[in-house]
Structure 1
């Protein structure tokens, strides 16, 4: 098992040879977060008191991501490391477990009540990790981020609580918007076909049937039989639109469209959804609120619902 002492030794050695591996500004809490969604939560709650580095940027698949040498330096030197857990960062699991033995490392989704989670199809003791697809469930993760910040810097508790309350209010407005626009989709059109099963919490929250070509993890293989089954489903149920994901190859979605076309049924791409990663840094879609706003607005518009083209706040591109 890799311990923090070992990692600090590695980090010290790497820092001497890796450019740009300096620690963050000394007057701010140094936080490293694995996914963009967690990084956004830390920035919202931490405000001006934190400097947050997200390891996985736009288009990055967390299921397959492995820590780099620079990541090791950043995490070993951080005041706080936030990761998702629930086997989302599957290739980093052993590393994060070892780092947590002596470091301030918090899996912010692992503590969610099990009765709120969706069981993993392939593993009896694991759960679907894509909890950010339901803003109300993600609010619980934000609270865990808040508590981790308070535990790390107790003297700033009042600021962290105030910032968290403001962000949670934003998430409540987001949940209201998504519920309203998705409720406008006709019941017979509420089928969401995507590259992998990242939208089960979305489907549960908003009454959509969700079909993913791959399983919960993008590491699972989509066989020809699975694609053929979905093609038959698209044709039989007259599905008009399917969706690609920003962090998953569109190869299998294209195969679905071609298979349906071969059977005389035209299916369009309803748009690109953000599943395991947010949009580009510095954009509205590069925030959690913008990510979910984009998804709800895109899905509603493509499946016959009513939604403003520029989303909840008029900020979508």
Structure 2
């Protein structure tokens, strides 16, 4: 449904008024609302004690299909800063967020990455693949955009935000080193990553993996029987023995692949569960960006014949 600017303003104003008392106690902090958990995590790391961060989309939520709720509108209308990915990740919310940005600070953090670093979208003409968080190096650029957005909203916190960002970027550099080392141990002929949807394009380009998604870049694209049949033939012909499910996408198509290959006499196992469009449970290691990527890298490396500690990067830190 398309909201006119007048209708949006009326809804946001009425809901914000109803919730305003609940926000008064947090006035001393910068109230940040982020669409995805990955962006919220970056805001918490950079903002520290000076921010109060809410993520609209939790574990297992697909951002491609997500639509704002009434409570989301309240949160967004009350926020000092709204952070969203952009690049058409939040496809169903884009018009709403662009309209919101006419009246308050709203930043599409992924759209600050230079175009020459982006991969085109096979699903939408003139759009780019939005899954930048799949490589720590690209995500570091997003963290810098988050830092700058916080400084713009709260200039007096510039020193704190800058120092926090430097510490976090150092951590992401360590993650990038671990990622490159673990993935380089996978034999070249086994660097084929078959997943539920094509969220790993930047990952494949950075670490020399062939990435095959059953669905396209958006989970809104459909995978027909012909596509599944083609991929079954590919698994059999190339002797691919592992495929991966995703926490935010149904495993229906992956199961169909496995069953189809079995009917052809070829055994395919699930190599593990990957975090593609959402992080793990809040309060857990995998509920952080670092833990999410560490888990993905470790799972992929071990499933495809590479070498990585069973508990991933955590082993190296202890």
TM-score, structure 2 as length reference: 0.95
Indicate the residue corresponding to 1:228 in structure 2.
229
- The residue aligned with 2:138 is 137
Q: Cα gap change, 1:146/1:6 in structure 2, threshold over 3 Å: closer, same or farther?
A: farther
- Structure 2 residue matching 1:90: 3-state secondary structure: coil
Return closer, same or farther for 1:111/1:262 CA change in 2, 3 Å cut-off. same
Matched residue SS, 2:315 = coil
Residue segments in structure 2 that go unaligned for 5+ positions in a row: none
Q: Distance in 2 between matches of 1:124 and 1:288?
A: 29
User: What is the CA-CA distance between 1:17 and the residue it aligns to?
Assistant: 6.0
Distance in 2 separating the partners of 1:119 and 1:169 = 29
CA distance in structure 1 between the partners assigned to 2:11 and 2:257 by the alignment: 46
Superposed, 1:167-186 pairs within 5 Å as 167-186=168-187
Instruction: Report matched runs for 1:3-82 at 5 Å.
Output: 3=5, 7=8, 9-15=10-16, 22=23, 25-82=26-83
Correspondence for 1:218: 219
Unmatched runs of 5 consecutive residues or more in structure 1: none
Equivalent residue, structure 2, for 1:117: 118
Query: Is 2:304 aligned against 1:283?
Result: no
User: Structure 1 pair 17/151, CA: closer, same or farther in 2 (3 Å)?
Assistant: closer
Does residue 156 of structure 2 align to residue 155 of structure 1?
Answer: yes
User: SS of the residue aligned with 2:220?
Assistant: coil
Q: 1 or 2, which has the higher helix percentage?
A: 2
Cα distance change on mapping 1:76 and 1:19 into 2, 3 Å = closer
The Cα offsets for residues 126-179 of structure 1, whole Å up to 9 and x where unpaired, read as 000001001100100000000000000001101000000000000000000000
TM-score, scaled to structure 1: 0.95
Contact 1:45–1:167 under 8 Å retained in 2 = yes
Structure 1 residue aligned with 2:206: 205
* Cα deviation digits, residues 161-214 of structure 1 (max 9, x gap): 000000000000000000000000111110000000000100011110000000
Verify the 8 A CA contact 1:8 1:77 in the aligned structure 2: no
Once residues 44 and 316 of structure 2 are traced to their aligned partners in structure 1, the CA distance between those partners, rounded to angstroms, is: 20
* CA-to-aligned-CA distance 1:63-109 (integer Å, 9 cap, x gap): 00000000000000100000000000000010001001111101001
Give, in whole Å, the separation in 1 of the partners of 2:19 and 2:131: 33
RMSD: 1.8
Q: Is the 8 A contact 1:7 1:72 kept in 2?
A: no
8 Å CA contact 1:178, 1:296 repeated in 2: yes
Aligned equivalents of 1:72, 1:226: Cα separation in 2: 38
